[in-house]
Structure 1
Amino acid sequence: MRPLRDAQLGAFTFFASALPHDVCGSNGLPLTPNSIKILGRFQLLKTITHPRLCQYVDISRGKHERLVVVTEHYESSLNDFQKQVQTVSPERVLQIAYEALEGLEFMNKHGMVHRALNAQNVLMDGKGKVKLAKFGLYYMTDHGADVDFPIGYPSYLAPEVIAQGSVHPSDPSQGENPLPSGPKTDVWSLGVLLFELCAGRRLLQNIEISERLKFIITLGCIDDIVTVLAEEHGCLDAIKELPENVQTLLRRCLTFLPSRRPTPAELLVDPVFEGVSCLYAPFQQPVGLFSSSLRCAHLELPEDISQLCKDDDEEYLGERAIDEVYHLWCLAGGDLEKELTNKEIIQSKPPVCTLPNFLLEDGESFGQGRDRSFLLDDTTVTLSLCQLKNRLKDVAGEAYYPLLEDEQSSLSQSNSSNELSCTVTLPLIIRERDTEYQLIRIILFDRLLKAYPYKKNLVWKEARVDIPPLIRGLAWAALLGVEGDIQAKYNSIDKDTPIPTDRQIEVDIPRCHQYDELLSSPQGHRKFRRVLKAWVVSHPDLVYWQGLDSLCAPFLWLNFNNEALAYACMSAFIPKYLYNFFLKDNSHVIQEYLTVFSQMIAFHDPELSNHLNEIGFIPDLYAILWFLTMFTYVFPLHKIFHLWDTLLLGNSSFPFCIGVAILQQLRDRLLANGFNECILLFSDLPEIDIERCVRESINLFCWTPKSATYRQHAQPPKAQGDSSTNGFGKMANYYSSDYQDMPKTDLSREPLALSDLKAEVSPRISAEDLIDLCELSVGGQTKRSKASKPKILAVDIRSIEDFGRGHISGSISIPYSTAFSPDGELVQCPATGTLQSFRGRVIVVISHAMKSAAMFATHLVKVNYPRVTTLDGGINKMKPTGLLTVPSPQI
């Protein structure tokens, strides 16, 4: 969106038609309210950006089908201009006409018609340039089908519109529905406006509406409509004195037959504008973030470089985009309905005053007729920015232009206020409602994303703090590494040819996050269908599984007006976190994933793991939809946004930690219940604190060795230099990418058969992880500072003799024979004594044979020992490294 500058924010309201409550659609579901339909169509209007059109910003849905629309607004209109100026020069008339036609032509290119042109809806900015307002009312209401009032003003309606009558498009009793108005209807309306401008008076204002309409229809019998109108209103001399090109323009606009009347595009190249068109440069659509064109090609330095320097009293807020200003206005306490109520546009009445009219037997009537507050009032109320400006008065000017070259977060540098720095430590939900904090974060991310992918690392760094909700869609795309001309790729996919999956998609969409107004709209369903179908068609080796619609929902909601970006994000997300989950036969992938998840539960919470295993409540019963939809099936969208803000920073193993964190929030109830109660508990999952879940997930993630979550069916290694994540905090280097992305060596984990994997309760870790976490010297260098406390403890269960021949430095010896008999029976608990003092560290059980190591680890889990692992390949993997230590002989 373009900057606010001298514009204001305005709001107007209207009611959608109410639907009967006892009627269902062909699919058996209740009919979609007309207000929802309008809300869905409105979203496209936010993307229509042109210097001659007032930018649409937002729409909100209230009670009783009320809709409030927020738009760019200016106090001055063509009506005010006529009152201020007695006579308008012909040059000015041509300029106004040309500017209005520019806006109309741009609308027509997007398949829209104004239909509501009048002097009040032609606004003028501070430079006197035309800005067409309410141009989307006809489009968003489906050509008037979804409202009870006609779109347009009788004095300005074209003859063909009047000839159709007042038939409601959605009324089946009226026979065939009228055709929607075309671009030429706006040309007639513009002609009437220009005539009024030249004549200095309003047309047909003192005549009854019915007489007005009859008069316009009778103009069809007249050759020179302009002359007749001038005679009718006593301004023939004024019209005759106009230059020939202005008179020609009026006659061309006020042509009775639509077949002979030009379109806005045809008029713009008409010779009447020969001396005017050269004053206007062609409009160039701004290049999007993901495109094959240069985003900076249109940038030019001003001739006077001092214009870039701003005074201390400069209006910095006016340089921000309109949608940003409105977002901050809402955070600063802005209330649309309150603003409209204060201006008496919304009039609330006690319920008893709104009772319908009814008659008694004697003919006496009570109640009232239709409440006039439900009729259309097209007044636009200006939203005051005083409260917002007062809230931001302490924000320094430097905050609006943060410097990024130092590769440091500019949060602390952009504002000297200590309060802003303290805000970072507050809960996320508070930060997202803090006006000053959100201003700083939005500006910072806006600059970083404009420099994407050059500043990709800084985007990662700032995303670890938080992501501003306003630009979450673009931030996610950057975190997922989306690049290139995504629109061209999306357009090349066949989304229209029927495929076998269509039926299942049609069934799933009406059940996917339909509590959300946007996704439940017909436009939302249509976009859902296209994005899902594009993914299915473009991935012929994969199939549509139920749950893919839930996975698509967050991306579609955030990029509702950019299907290509929603598709690109989804296509990047699935290989990273759900590789091969959508194979036709995905049982081996799912089973391996659930087995690793079971091991993660045992690793982090052995007591809970033991209880769930005892009652038979295995992950297959509750976790398949968790991971197949990455939790979008079980959480509402607002929670998914916060969850995925962090999920996208982690590698493919991070979902395991989220799953364990959810179980730990339900831990007390799970431990106290049996199988049946647990089934009931998960059939209607209790409220989950997402912020706590995220915080605990990160902690679990940082305690999990990378190779512990190794899966042979995970995504294959990426190309060298393609780093997909930056990890969390101090663990960034260790968790910078998936274990699968690391070059494979003799010390790496080996693939394991699913049956063998299921037989082990504790996860395995690789020799690489052991060397790294034990801080063993490799080539004379250590992995981390030796002053840091190690997180790991190596437990060698070989015999004393074998331990003496060579062991890992710092490991302790607990021979397997002292704890278990040759037939595997427990003799003495190995968790007592020496091992007890190391409780809480990551324990790696090392042996010659993996079977004995797995049995030893299983017993530690049974006695509720956390963070127990085994060394993949045993001690034999370590022998070639030369890192085994032989104890010095005792003298």
Structure 2
Amino acid sequence: MRPLKDAQLGAFTFFASALPHDVCGSNGLPLTPNSIKILGRFQILKTITHPRLCQYVDISRGKHERLIVVAEHYEKSLSDFQRQGKPASLEKVLQIAYEVLEGLEFMNKHGLVHRALSAHNVLMDCKGNVKLAKFGLYHMTDHGADVDFPIGYPSYLAPEVIAQGSFHPSDPSRDEAPLPSGPKTDVWSLGVLLFELCAGRRLLQNIEISERLKFILTLGCMDDIVTVLAEEHGCLDTIKELPANVLELLRKCLIFLPSKRPTPAELLGDPVFSGISCHYTPFLKPVSLFSSSLRCAHLELPDDISDLCKDDDDDYLSERAIDEVYHLWCLAGGDLEKELTNKEIIQSKPPICTLPNFVLEDGESFGQGRDRSFLLDDTTVTLSLCQLRNRLKDVAGEAYYPLLEDEQSSLPQSNSSNELSATVTLPLIIRERDTEYQLIRIILFDRLLKAYPYKKNLVWKEARVDIPPLVRGLAWAALLGIEIEVDIPRCHQYDELLSSPQGHIKFRRVLKAWVVSHPDLVYWQGLDSLCAPFLYLNFNNEALAYACMSAFIPKYLYNFFLKDNSHVIQEYLTVFSQMIAFHDPELSNHLNEIGFIPDLYAIPWFLTMFTHVFPLHKIFHLWDTLLLGNSSFPFCIGVAILQQLRDRLLANGFNECILLFSDLPEIDIERCVRESITLFCWTPKSATYRQHAQPPKVAGDNGFGKTTTYYSSDYQDMPKTDLSREPLALCDLKAEVSPRISAEDLIDLCELSLGGPTKRSRAGKPKIVAVDIRSVEDFGRGHISSSINISFNTAFSSDGELLQCPATGVLQNYRGRVIVVIGHAMKSAAMFAAHLVKVNFPRVCILDGGINKLKPTGLLTVPSPQI
């Protein structure tokens, strides 16, 4: 969106038509309220940006089908010229005509018709340039079908519109809806406006509406409509004095038959504008963030560089985009309904005054007449920014132009103002409602995203702190590494936007595009839930929503949407079971004892990445962190959810657990995210290895620089060596309670180096303890430095029966660290690890390949002989 500059934020309200309560659609479900239909159609209007059009910003749905629209607004309009009571100069008339036509032509290219063109809807900015207001009312109301009032003003309506009459879908006397108005309708309205400017007076204002309509329809019998109008309003001499080309322009606009009337595009090329068209440069559509076009191609430096540093009034807020200013206005306490109520646009009435009419047998009527407040009052109320400016008065000017830190810095701190450092420690929900904090974060992200992909690493760094809701859609796309705009062919019912007809249409298009472009995959139930966050954040950019979903699925849900995905799902659930045992053995033991396995509850979690179980506002906060982690992070989220329900799960049996998950209790998402990060940091990289995960990416620079992740690189992407984990058959994987880790993971965790001793952490103790279960003799021939030897033979008999386990006592001092069981045979190591889990030792894992994997490394140590 363009900067606010000298514009204001304006709001107007209207009611959508109410639907009968006892009528259902063909599918047997209640009809979608007209206000939700309008809300869905409105969204595309926010993307229509042109110098001659007032920018739409937001729409709010209230009670009783009330809608409030927020848009760019200016106090001056063509009505000011009419109040002067004298003709406007010819130069001004031609300028207004040309600029209105520019706006109309741009609208027409986007399939829009104004239909409500009038003097008070042609606004003027501080430089006297035209800004068309309310140009989207006809579109958002489905050509007037969803409201109880006509779109347009009788004095300016074209004859063909008047001839069609009014229409409402519930009217049984009308079989078909009239054809929508075309671009030529607005040309007639423009002709009336220009005539009023030239004559210095308004047309048909002192005549009843019915008489006005009759008069306009009778103009079809006239050869020269302009002359007839001039005679009717006593301004024939004034009109005759107009230059021939201006008079001809009026006649072209006021041609009675639409088939002979020109379009706005045709009128723009009229010779009457040859003298002024050269002063206007063609409008260039702003280049989107993920477009392959250069975003700086149109930038030019002024001849005098000092012009860039001129600050007339230091009004930095006016340089921010209109949607940013409105977002901050809301955070600063702005209330649309309160603003309209204060100006008496919204008037509350006691219930007794809203009773409907009733009629007695003798025909006498009682009750209220038609409530005219449900008709259109198109008064636009200016939203005061005083409260917002006062809230931001202490924000330094430098905050609006932050310097970007060196990408190579390893410091985790944010680049945001140090003055707000205390705010960063507050809960996320509070930070997202803090006006000053959000201003700083939005400005910083805006700069970083405009520099994408060159500042991608800084985007990652700042996303670790938080992502401002206003820029979340673009930030997610950057985190997913979307490169360029994707060209694609032309559920969440609780959400008004996604449940609107436009939302359903967009859902189908994005999902169809995904299915068509991935012929090896199929549509599984839940894919729509997975699509929902991306479509919500990119409602007006289906290509970007599709691109984000297409990048997200391979990373987190690789091959989940195969026609036969059972092997992929089963491996995923088995690894998840091992993660539960690794982090919470007591809970794992209980769930296994009662038979409450992940297959019964976790498939919808992972198949939809939790979008099936959480509402969108929680998914946004969850995915802000999920996108920073690698493909194993969802396991940690799943364990964190179970741990929030831990007490209830431990206290209940199978049936109670089933009921608990059929209606999942409220989950604290911020706590879930926080605990997921902790779980992730304690999980060895290779513990979540899956052979059905996404294969490693081909090495090579893709122009985006080194890819960084939130906590650690994905083990799946690491180059495979002799020390890596080996693929394991599903049956063998299921037989093991604890996860395996690779030899390279063990070396990394123990911080071993060739020829050097084990490094210690800051606390003086390693995070890991290696338990070598070989015999004393084998242990003496070579072992990991600082490992503990607890012979398997002293704990288990040859047939696997537990004799005694000294490990329970020996390892008490190491409880809480990652315990890696190392042996010769994997079966023995798995049994030993399973026993530790059984007695509630957390963070137990097995060295994949056993001691044999470590022998070639030269890292095994031999005790010095006793002298």
TM-score by length of 2: 0.96
**Tell me, what secondary structure is at the counterpart of 2:574?**
helix
Distance 2:686 2:434 in 1: 40
**1:122–1:131 CA contact under 8 A, matched in 2:** yes
Which deviates the most, 607-616 or 365-374? 365-374
Separation of aligned partners in 1, 2:636 and 2:323: 36
Instruction: Give the Cα separation in 1 of the matches to 2:458 and 2:782.
Output: 46
Partner of 2:155, secondary structure, is helix
Distance 1:733 1:521, change over 3 A: closer
User: What residue number does 1:224 align with?
Assistant: 224
Are the aligned partners of 1:11 and 1:381 in contact in 2 as well (CA < 8 Å)?
Answer: yes
Residues 59 and 104 of structure 1: CA distance in aligned 2, closer, same or farther (over 3 Å): same
- Output the CA distance in 2 between the equivalents of 1:145 and 1:462: 46
Q: Compute the displacement of 1:407 (Å).
A: 3.2
Equivalent residue, structure 2, for 1:888 = 864
**Unaligned regions of 5+ residues in structure 2, if any?**
none
* Change in CA separation of 1:808 and 1:413 when aligned onto 2, cut-off 3 Å: closer
Q: Structure 1 residues 370-379 or 509-518, which shifts more?
A: 509-518
Distance, in Å, in 2 between the alignment partners of 1:670 and 1:506 is: 46
Which whole-Å CA distance do the structure 2 matches of 1:393 and 1:641 have between them? 31
Residues 378-432 of structure 1: CA distance to partner in whole angstroms, max 9, x if unpaired? 0000000000000111111111111115338999999997651100010000000
Say if 1:452 and 1:782 are closer, same or farther in 2 by CA, change over 3 A: farther
Note if contact 2:18-2:34 (Cα within 8 Å) is conserved in structure 1: yes
Q: Deviations over 1:840-876 (max 9, x none)?
A: 0000000001111000000000000000001000000
Distance 1:716 1:506 in 2: 25
* CA distance in structure 1 between the aligned counterparts of 2:487 and 2:570, rounded to whole angstroms: 25
Going from structure 1 to structure 2, the CA distance change for 1:297 and 1:870 (only over 3 Å counts) comes to same
Kept in 2: contact 1:508–1:546 (CA 8 A): no
Q: Deviation per CA, 1:646-703, whole angstroms, max 9, x where unpaired?
A: 0000000000000000000000000000000000000010000000000000000000
TM-score (norm 1): 0.94
Counterpart of 1:656 (choices 635, 645, 669) is: 635
Task: Quote how far apart the aligned CAs of 1:136 are.
Answer: 0.3
Residue aligned with 2:807, SS: coil
In 2, Cα distance between equivalents of 1:157 and 1:437: 48
SS of the aligned residue for 1:173 comes to coil
Which residue is 1:869 aligned to? 845
| Cα contact 1:411–1:421 (8 A) shared by 2 | no
Matched residue of 1:870: which SS? strand
Give the Cα–Cα distance (whole angstroms) in 2 for the partners of residues 256 and 435 of structure 1: 54
CA distance in 2, matches of 1:62, 1:166: 26
Contact 1:452 1:478 in 2 (8 A): yes
Moved more, 129-138 or 303-312: 303-312
Q: Which moved more, 1:369-378 or 1:357-366?
A: 357-366
Structure 1 residue aligned with 2:664: 685
8 A contact 1:698–1:728 mirrored in 2:
no
- CA positional deviation for 1:719: 1.9
Q: Identity of counterpart residues, as a percentage?
A: 90
Partner of residue 488, structure 1: none
Q: Deviations over 1:599-636 (max 9, x none)?
A: 00000000000000000000000001100000000000
Aligned to 1:712: 691
> Does the CA contact (< 8 Å) of 1:765 and 1:870 recur in 2?
yes
Consecutive unaligned residues of structure 1, counting only runs of 5 or more, are 484-504
Q: Please say if residues 808 and 836 of structure 2, whose CA atoms lie closer than 8 Å, have aligned partners that are also in contact.
A: no
SS in 2 for 1:380: strand
Aligned-residue RMSD, C-alpha: 3.3
Mark the CA change 1:312 to 1:786 in structure 2 (over 3 Å): closer, same or farther: same
The 3 A distance-change label for structure 1 pair 781 and 860 is: closer
Give the distance between the partners of 1:769 and 1:507, measured in 2 at CA: 39
1:728, distance to aligned residue in structure 2 (A)? 20
CA distance in 1, matches of 2:507, 2:202: 48
- Classify the secondary structure of the residue corresponding to 2:819: strand
Mean CA deviation greater in 662-671 or 787-796: 787-796
Counterpart Cα distance in 2 of 1:508 and 1:312: 43
Q: What do the CA deviations read for 1:510-543 (whole angstroms, capped 9, x no partner)?
A: 9921000000000000000000000000000111
Alpha carbons of 1:291 and 1:817: their partners in 2 closer, same or farther (altered >3 Å)?
same
Change in 2 beyond 3 A, CA 1:511/1:409: same
- The 1:511–1:208 alpha-carbon spacing in structure 2 relative to 1, beyond 3 Å, is closer
Instruction: Single out whichever of 300-309 and 164-173 deviates more from structure 2.
Output: 164-173
The CA deviation at 1:87 is: 3.4
Could you list the per-position Cα deviations for residues 263-319 of structure 1 after superposition, in whole angstroms to 9, with x for gaps in the alignment?
A: 000000011111011111111101111112111101111222222114383110111
CA contact (8 A) 1:727 1:733 kept: no
The equivalent residue for 1:135 is: 135
In the alignment, the residues of structure 2 paired with residue 60 and residue 256 of structure 1 have an alpha-carbon distance, to the nearest angstrom, of 39
**CA pair 709-806 structure 1, distance change in 2 beyond 3 A:** same
SS of structure 1 residue aligned to 2:497: coil
Matched residue of 1:459: which SS? helix
Quickly say closer, same or farther: Cα 1:322–1:98, change in 2 above 3 A: same
Any conservation in 2 of the 1:343–1:381 contact (CA below 8 Å)? Answer: yes
Structure 1 equivalent of residue 592 of structure 2:
613
**Alpha-carbon offset, residue 363 of structure 1:** 6.0
Distance 2:656 2:307 in 1: 70
> In the TM superposition, what whole-angstrom CA distance separates every residue of 1:713-755 from its partner, at most 9, and x where no partner exists?
0100012257xxx999999889532111111111000000000
CA contact (8 A) 1:117 1:190 kept: yes
Question: What secondary structure, in the 3-state scheme, does the structure 1 residue paired with 2:10 have?
Answer: strand
Aligned-partner SS, 2:496:
coil
Deviations 1:165-207 (A, max 9, x none): 1233563531222111110010000000000001000100000
CA shift digits 1:4-31 (9 cap, x unpaired) = 0000000000000001111111111111
The CA deviation string for residues 446-490 of structure 1, in whole angstroms up to 9 with x for no partner, is 11011111001000000000000001000000000001xxxxxxx
Structure 2 CA distance for aligned equivalents of residues 670 and 416 of structure 1: 42
Q: 1:92 to 1:403 in 2, by over 3 A?
A: same
**Partner-residue secondary structure (3-state), 1:326:** helix
Runs of 4+ residues over 4 Å off in structure 1: 360-365, 408-419, 505-511, 726-735, 779-788
Aligned-pair CA distance for 1:67: 0.3
Pairwise CA distance, 1:834: 2.2
**For 1:507 and 1:717, how far apart are their aligned partners in 2?**
24
1:824 Cα deviation after fit = 1.4
CA distance in 2, matches of 1:794, 1:307: 67
Per the TM alignment, residue 833 of structure 1 is displaced from its structure 2 partner at its CA by 2.6
Count of matched residue pairs: 867
Q: CA deviation at 1:374?
A: 1.1
